[in-house]
Amino acid sequence: MQEPADHQVDDRDRAWMRHALALAERAAREFDEIPVGAVLVGPDGALLGEGWNRNIGDHDPSAHAEIVAMRAGGKALGNHRLQGCTLYVTLEPCAMCAMAMVHARIGRLVFGASDPKTGAAGSVFDLIADPRHNHRVEVAGGVLGDEAGGRLRDYFRAKRGRPPG
């Protein structure tokens, strides 16, 4: 996926996405989880929460990286509303995560790789932009998307006993 025009993303966005990519790498290397990482940043630019996929190890189907990061952010803020926050995630969110963002009132979503199978921020569904919701989340996709997608492809190739592609 082509990275958005410069007016939509900046060097801070790329820096936070690199942080999320490092979390994704840690998920695969240390926990054998699917390499997806997420970082929640407050309106002031401070880190509020971070996470990686934990659903396999925690036996929790809801423990996607986005949910883990938002849970940490909610605890840090003492609030279930994450207004004005930006969520960085290495893979386009699924329907569950997209709707959690709408309910949490996330201000902005920045994601890396598109998900042509279950993406809910424009690829398969566009739940975030659905006009029937009472909240809108600004979305920028494709930030460091080639790197994020490559990590996912290599992870699944290794699971199938194939060399990195």
Strand order in the sheet with 37-41: 47-52, 37-41, 86-91, 108-113, 138-141
Integer Cα distance of 9 and 52 in angstroms:
22
Active-site annotation holder among 3, 33, 50, 66: 66
Tell me whether residue 138 is one of the annotated catalytic residues: no
Best CA proximity match to 106, nearest among 133, 125, 132: 133
Integer Cα distance of 136 and 64 in angstroms:
21
Best CA proximity match to 100, nearest among 131, 132, 74: 74
Asked if 81 and 113 count as a contact pair (C-beta separation under 8 A), the reply is no
112 by DSSP, 3-state: which?
strand
**Which sequence positions are flagged as catalytic?**
66
